[in-house]
Structure formats: structure tokens, C-alpha cells
Amino acid sequence: MRNVTYAQILVMAAIVATLFLVPAAGLVWMACALLGASFESVVTLGNSLSAPAGVSAWWAIAFVPAFGYAAFMLYE
């Protein structure tokens, strides 16, 4: 067990979530293009949010598993 603080876990999770978001958005964009769906409606969660708020919401969704990953990797 390593000597790890919660701040270090949060920073690592934020980095992982940020690095994950760009390739995942690319894959979602390709899937939307193939299926004929609107990428903007996916990003904005059905046009219920603005584009920056939608991207922030997707980042927060990606942060949850990234936090679990960071906690597992830093405490192992």
C-alpha cells in the first residue's frame, strides 16, 4: 500500500477522464455519422443543456469510473 492522498487520486482521475474524453467523443461522432444521428444532440444530452454544459456533464460521467481506476491503481 502506497502513501497516497485523496488529492492525488482526484488529480489522477481528472487527468484520466480528460484524456479519455477526446477519443471517446471521436468514436461517438463516427457512430452518429454512420447512424445518421445528430452529434450535437448527443453532446447536449438531447438538447437539454448547452454545448459547454453538455461537455462538462460528459466529463463528469467519465470522471466516476476514472476515479475508481485511479483509486485502484494508486492503492495497489
DSSP codes joined into one string, 2-45: ----HHHHHHHHHHHHHHHHHHHHHHHHHHHHHHT--HHHHHTT
Domain residues for the domain of 33 are 6-75
List the grid coordinates of 74: 494508486
Task: Using the Cα atoms of residue 40, residue 45, residue 49 and residue 54 in order, give the sign of their dihedral.
Answer: negative
List the grid coordinates of 52: 459547454
Question: Which position has the higher pLDDT, 76 or 16?
Answer: 16
Number of domains in the chain: 1
Residue 1 lies in a domain: no
pLDDT digits (tens, 9 = 90+) for 29-48: 999 999 999 999 999 989 99
Q: How confident is the model at residue 2 (pLDDT cuts 50, 70, 90)?
A: confident
Residue 41 lies in a domain: yes
Residue 46 lies in a domain: yes
pLDDT over 90 at 75, yes or no: no
Residue 35 lies in a domain: yes
Q: How confident is the model at residue 1 (pLDDT cuts 50, 70, 90)?
A: low
CA atoms of 61 and 19, how far apart (whole Å): 13
